[in-house]
Each structure stands twice: as C-alpha cells, then as structure tokens.
Amino acid sequence: MKKTLTHTLVALALLSSVGVLTTAPVQAEEEEVVEYADDRVLVQIEAGVDPQVVAAEYGIEKVQPLGDGAENWNIFYVNPGEVDDWMDKLRDAKYIKLIERDIRIFPQLFFDPAYKDQWHQKYIGADQLWKSNRNYRTIAFIDSGVDYSHPDLSGKIVQGYDFVNYDPIANDEYGTGTHIAGIAAATHNNLTGGKGVDPTAKIMPLKVMNENGVSYTSTIADAIYWATHHGADVISITAGTTVRYTSVLQSAINYAWQRGDFIVSQAGNNSSTTPRYPASYSHVFSVNAIDPEDNLWYRSNRGPWVDISAPGTYIYSTKLGGGMYHYTGTERAVGVTAGAASLVWKSGMTNVGVENYLIDKALPIPYTGTYWYHGRLNLI
C-alpha cells in the first residue's frame, strides 16, 4: 500500500517568494454545448393510444400533451437524473413510436462568464465529460460551511449541519468552505460566475471550523458519520491537517468507506515530506497541489504517501459574500478531485471503482512515485 512505502525524495527547488504564481494560468474558452433537461423525456405515442395509460404502465405519474395532441407527442416527467435510464427503458416499449431528450435553450453562448478563468477544468478533461456525465452525486464538504446566498451555490445545497453552533444551517464564517464547494460543484449555465468540476453535484455543507478556522478531530469524525448517514457519496475533508494519527478518525473513515463513500483530503501546505492526517489514513484519497505546468506548488507537502497531484494553484471559485476569487493550496486540489470523483461516478460504480478510475486515468508526470504515488489527475 502506498501509505507504508518509503522512497528517497528528489530535492525540490523552492520558489523565492511566498504565494506568487510565476506561471500564468492556461485560459479556457467556453464551447457551445447541448444541454438536455434532466427531469423529462419527449415521447410520441401511437395514434389512438392514451398516453396516460402508457405512462401509468411504467409508473410515470405526470404527463403533459403537446399542442392539441394531433401527433400524440407528450412530455413524460421523471425523477431528476434518471433520463438516461428512461431513454433505455422506453426506446422499444409497446405503443411508443419515438422518444427524444428535451433540449434546454439559453439566451447566449457564454453561460458562465468566469469559466474562461478556470484553467483547471480543461487541464483535467472535465469539460469533455459534461455532455455525458450527469450523475447528481452528493458531495459532503467538511470545512467551514458554505454561503447559502451565493448564486452559484444556493440552488445546489442539500441538508447539512453546523457542528460548531449545533444548528442545521451551516453558514460559512471563514470562507474556505464556500471556495472549495464552488470548485467542486458550483452550478453552471446560470449566466453568472464559473462552474464546478461536476456542476450537477449536490452540496452538503458540514461546518466543523469556527470563524477563526479552528476545528477538532472529534468534530471532523462526527461530521463524517453525519455525512454517511445522510446520503453523501463523496466526502471532502479540508479542515486542516496534523502529523498525529488518531484511532477515532480512522474508525470514522473506515465506517464511511465500508458504507460506500469516497473520501478525499489534502496533503497539507507545510513544504514537508512528513505524512499528514487525515490524508494518510487508510481509505483516504490524498491530494497535493500542482500548477498549470505540472510543477508541484512549493508549499505543498509531498511524498509517496500522497495518492495523486491535482490543480491547486490560482483556482478561481466562489467567494463568501458573493463573487469569485483566486486562491492556492492543497485544499483547492481537494475541491478539484472531489468534483472529479463525483463527475466520473456513474450508476453501478462503487467507491472502489471510482478510486480505480482516478488511478488508471492519472498521468505519470515527472516526480510520480516520489512527490505523489499515482500521477496527475486526469479524467479522459
């Protein structure tokens, strides 16, 4: 296992000034994509057949005829995220002549004006999966909560919890949770801001950090159990790191993993080779930060105990109080990776399958095996 291997690390030349990105980010141009409705299919029924009867046979409750019904075209409303399944189920069904997806139409080409500043999206190939991968997974963000009023997040938030104030509303007071949630799962095609790596993912905010950014191992463990019990698929832990192992946190992680969750956490920002926790626990997919040239960020921790490298410098995402801003750190690489895990997690896959997908697709860039074990995050 990678967390017990030892390797001789290659020396890293540190940058001379703290926090300065010396390489300009690669800018991505927004491409026109076809966006399909996620809650309906268009169905043409054979003449003389009642569409309500056909729909009822398949357990579909809501049907809307188009026009006067002369051509017997109808909208069959289905649960969000189940269009692909219904397309397969109804394609050759009795009394159905044709079935099509409903296309969403937008007023302009550039749906998310800040997307051009999100260099990491095309860098990992996320943009090439947006047309086909619409999985509607839930990502739990164990951090400082989120900004419930941010227009790129507000429509995506599911029930979370504030473990600091013991409140069901996990409002962000620190800022990192809002930024990381946006990296992973900000909404798209809303004519404002940018988009998440998986723009269809749901956001479960779990606030474990107070207004000063302080948390506890016990609080993080409590949040992991909560996430598992409330339907999280991916658990993103970005509430700091420590060099100390604890049984309580490993137990919580084991519990979540055994129940099917995929857990990701950051290597830390100490310019160190010393393994950090939660990243070094078993069943945690650990991530450090690289720049647009595949160079390790100079403050990023490193070593064969890190699973993968991912974009983590100058990442443009949602800001507490509105708008967007750039920030750098291994936490940001976790946001990218959590969104990636959600994006590739198709129906029928397990957390093991997601982990294997990310490992198999990783690019073996220089320093693979020393600064990180499997390579650089890549989805295609």
The tokens for 194 are: 């940018």
- 318-363 pLDDT, tens digit each: 999 999 999 999 999 999 999 999 999 998 999 999 999 999 999 9
- 144-181 pLDDT, tens digit each: 999 999 999 998 999 999 999 999 999 999 999 999 99
- 220-239 pLDDT, tens digit each: 999 999 999 999 999 999 99
- Please answer whether residues 187 and 199 qualify as being in contact, where contact means their C-beta atoms are separated by less than 8 angstroms: yes
Instruction: Check whether 191 has a pLDDT greater than 90.
Output: no
> Which structural domains are found in the chain, ordered by start?
37-104 (3.30.70), 113-361 (3.40.50.200)
What DSSP designation does 121 have?
Answer: H
Which of 85-94, 122-131, 150-159 is the most confident on average?
Answer: 150-159
How are the residues of the chain apportioned to helix, strand and coil, as percentages rounded to the nearest 5? 25, 20, 55
Nearest to 141 by CA among 212, 233, 216: 233
Query: Could you give the 3-state DSSP secondary structure of residue 345?
Result: coil
- 235-253 pLDDT, tens digit each: 999 999 999 999 999 999 9
Query: Could you give the 3-state DSSP secondary structure of residue 325?
Result: strand
Q: What percent of the chain has pLDDT over 70?
A: 87
The tokens for 313 are: 């410098």
- Please answer whether residues 334 and 352 qualify as being in contact, where contact means their C-beta atoms are separated by less than 8 angstroms: no
For 124, 216, 294, 380, the CA distances from 129, given in Å and listed in that order, are 10, 37, 22, 8
- 1-10 pLDDT, tens digit each: 444 433 333 3
* C-alpha atoms less than 13 angstroms from C-alpha of 124 in its C-beta half-sphere: 34
The tokens for 336 are: 């990218």
User: Mean of the per-residue pLDDT values for the chain?
Assistant: 87
Q: How confident is the model over 27-38, as a mean pLDDT?
A: 60
- 265-289 pLDDT, tens digit each: 999 999 999 999 999 999 999 999 9
pLDDT tier for residue 192 given thresholds of 50, 70 and 90:
low
pLDDT of residue 117: 80
Query: Could you give the 3-state DSSP secondary structure of residue 217?
Result: helix
- Please answer whether residues 159 and 230 qualify as being in contact, where contact means their C-beta atoms are separated by less than 8 angstroms: yes
**DSSP result, 233-254:** SEEEE-S--BS---HHHHHHHH
- 38-66 pLDDT, tens digit each: 889 999 999 989 999 999 989 999 999 99
List, in order, residues 6 or more apart from 353 with CB less than 8 Å away. none
- Rounded-to-10 torsion of CA 100, 106, 110, 114: -100
Q: What percent of the chain has pLDDT over 90?
A: 71
pLDDT tier for residue 187 given thresholds of 50, 70 and 90:
confident
Instruction: Check whether 307 has a pLDDT greater than 60.
Output: yes
Instruction: Check whether 108 has a pLDDT greater than 50.
Output: no
Q: How confident is the model over 111-132, as a mean pLDDT?
A: 82
- What span, in angstroms and rounded, lies between the C-alpha atoms of 148 and 267? 28
Q: pTM of whole model > 0.95?
A: no
Residue whose token pair is 């169905």: 43
- What span, in angstroms and rounded, lies between the C-alpha atoms of 336 and 316? 11
pLDDT of residue 193: 67
- Please answer whether residues 9 and 370 qualify as being in contact, where contact means their C-beta atoms are separated by less than 8 angstroms: yes
Q: Which of residues 311 and 32 earns the better pLDDT score?
A: 311
Give the sheet arrangement for strand 262-266, strand by strand.
161-162, 202-207, 138-143, 234-237, 262-266, 284-290, 308-311
